Amino acid sequence: MNNREEFIKGLRDIADFFEDRPELPIPNYGESFYIWEKSLVNARERAIQMAPAEKIYLESYFNLQRRFGPHKVVVSWARDAICERVQVGTKHVPAYTVEAHEEPVYEWDCGQPILGSDKQLEKGESL
């Protein structure tokens, strides 16, 4: 049995375990399964495989997330590996324990949408 088969069998075994023991309480929370990607080489393929998926933009990560009841599968990319951090302005920082100063303001510029629109992902359409 290879790793993939073993992983899938383990998930089915857990489901059977709880189904066979209706008196056993279930965990309070669902599980999250993360797939970590290092580049955009497979991004479009992952988007199609995950559809319909929700796009989650975090400070340091970009995630595609799909929920299954209380559980979720997440494909995650480090934003600095796939986007360029671009200063788009400054913001005033009032004096507190340091002197007031201007501070750079950044956004992530990921260029053209590589994963399609949010509507395409929600519908499960190919890109």
Note down pLDDT in tens along the chain; length 127 residues: 899 999 999 999 999 999 999 999 999 999 999 999 988 888 889 989 999 999 998 989 999 999 999 999 999 999 887 788 889 999 998 888 878 889 999 988 877 666 666 666 566 554 4
Q: Which pLDDT score, from 0 to 100, does residue 40 have?
A: 81
Where along the chain do its domains lie?
Answer: 3-123
CA 40/CA 112 separation, integer angstroms = 13
Q: Which pLDDT score, from 0 to 100, does residue 42 have?
A: 85
Q: Which pLDDT score, from 0 to 100, does residue 126 have?
A: 45
- The answer to pTM > 0.75 is no
Q: Which pLDDT score, from 0 to 100, does residue 76 have?
A: 95
Cβ(51)–Cβ(125) under 8 Å? yes
- Label residue 2 left, alpha or beta by phi (over 0 means left) and psi (-120 to 50 means alpha): beta
Q: Which pLDDT score, from 0 to 100, does residue 26 have?
A: 93
Tokens of residue 4, six digits: 């993939």
